[in-house]
A and B are shown apart, each in its own frame.
Chain A
């Protein structure tokens, strides 16, 4: 395969097979075993927008597998500030590396980069567009908890308008026959074209503003942050911020095995009282970013993850 720009680049079979690779790589991701599958390979980390988890987990994934990483660094001190086009930046990094992970504020930047590059591009988020590596770690987390992806009831809540994470995830869940409930303030509803696209692919979608009333028979509640940086208007932000504040007291009626996820960082949408409940999965989810990206790096670089993981015990 070339790169991973949207989830459409993967079939359901490929998704499940990569998740199985990820499962086997867990001891390597935890640092229990050193398995240098990617020794001699170099990842280019191009983050044109701030990132903590995605950038660090790509770097960790590459290093856990014995590979190396070069970073674009702060955009303010790179050639980008001198007016270099994305095309030229990609031409340069393409020559330095074997694979590129990229985040960019403009939508379509990852596809644009892939068309300009020889090496595979892993889309780490393009504007309000796609974030497929996040989706892979989300699917991994869901499968880890429920043992399957098919037929689950998933509530996606918060900023559904600008949140690229929920855009990619809802497309992927639809492909596995999940029922989707979109809970958001009306200003932050899931874009109409995405909802109609999902429905045309057979999705069962319910849209509501009532998060707490939607959780009773949910298998997954996926919370997102209201992203201040996406609002041009402070007043609009103020009207939406704090719409949902999930607290431990809201969880008394939910299913025992329901899990709460969040791509992080959180602000007020999940109260710390939830952290110690059996439902909280967001910190494991963040860790799963490493193992999911390890499996993706191997797959895109054409490196087979062994059926039995053996390496140097650490």
Chain B
């Protein structure tokens, strides 16, 4: 089944953002991380587990009438580092963006170590996780230095 066919499972959007090549089963997590999982005014279409030549299977999200910013998209580095993002204007791809995992994730997720100083949510300084290694991804808390459990980390999204 072609990639084009997968994309047609949902209607083309006039304006907004298409996030393609999300690892299969991660679409809901992506919506959570973008803060559009709950009540939202914009139409959101989502397909999951569609065949993909490159990935075997994948998820796709289309968010109408909202152009996601680069910094919003960079939050996805934890769950969909290879996702491809297109900004759509008047049914055409106006911009192509990719997700950048920088040197540090600032105020994206909270450290997973239960005794880290940052578990006191009243402490006002930024939550900072340093990227130690990209493939496979390894993160350490800037404050307590603990290596992060990536499975748990998805539950600590800010």
Interface residue stretch chosen among A11-19, A56-64, A105-113, A145-153: A105-113
Within 8 Å of chain A (Cβ to Cβ): is B96? no
Cα separation A92 to B125 with both chains bound (whole Å): 16
> Which label, helix, strand, loop or mixed, suits the secondary structure of the B interface?
loop
* A128: Cβ under 8 A from any B Cβ: yes
Which B-chain residue is minimally distant from A90 (CB atoms)? B125
Write the nearest CB–CB distance from A191 to chain B, whole angstroms: 10
Given A83, A86, A105, A129, which contacts B145 in the complex, CB threshold below 8 Å? A129
Residue among A6, A104, A109 having the largest count of chain B Cβ atoms under 10 Å:
A109
In Å, the complex CA distance between A6 and B142 comes to 12
**B123 surroundings in chain A (CB, below 8 A):** 85-87, 112
Stretch in B5-13, B44-52, B54-62, B114-122 touching the partner = B114-122
Smallest CB–CB gap between A111 and chain B, Å? 5
CB neighbours of B124 from chain A (8 A): 85, 87
A106 and B120 contact, CB distance less than 8 A: yes
CA distance A108 to B113 in the complex (A): 10
Contact A87 B125 (CB under 8 A): yes
The one of A6, A107, A128 that contacts B117, using a Cβ cutoff of 8 Å: A107
Contacts of B144 in A (CB 8 A): 106-108, 111, 126-127, 129
CB-nearest residue of chain B to A192: B147
| Beta-carbon contact of A111 and B115 below 8 Å | no
Within 8 A of B (CB), among A118-159: 126-130
Choice from B115, B120, B147 contacting A107 with Cβ under 8 Å: B115
A108-B117, A128-B115 are contacts. A85–B143 as well, Cβ < 8 Å?
no
Contact bitstring B106-132, A, C-beta under 8 A = 1, else 0: 000001010111111011110000000
Residues of B contacting A126 with CB < 8 Å?
117, 144
Please name all residues of chain B whose beta carbon is closer than 8 Å to the beta carbon of A33 when the two chains form the complex: none
Q: B residues near A, CB below 8 A?
A: 111, 113, 115-120, 122-125, 141-147
CB<8 Å pairs between A and B, sample of 23: A6-B145, A83-B122, A85-B123, A85-B124, A104-B117, A106-B144, A107-B115, A107-B116, A107-B117, A107-B145, A107-B146, A108-B111, A108-B117, A108-B141, A108-B145, A109-B143, A111-B143, A111-B144, A112-B123, A112-B143, A115-B125, A115-B143, A193-B146
New A-B contacts (7) at CB < 8 Å, excluding given A106-B144, A108-B145: A85-B122, A108-B143, A108-B144, A111-B143, A115-B125, A193-B146, A193-B147
Residues of A within 8 A of B (CB): 6, 83, 85-87, 104-109, 111-112, 115-116, 126-130, 193
Give the top 9 A-B pairs by smallest Cβ distance, nearest first: A108-B143, A108-B144, A107-B144, A106-B117, A108-B117, A109-B117, A112-B117, A111-B143, A112-B143
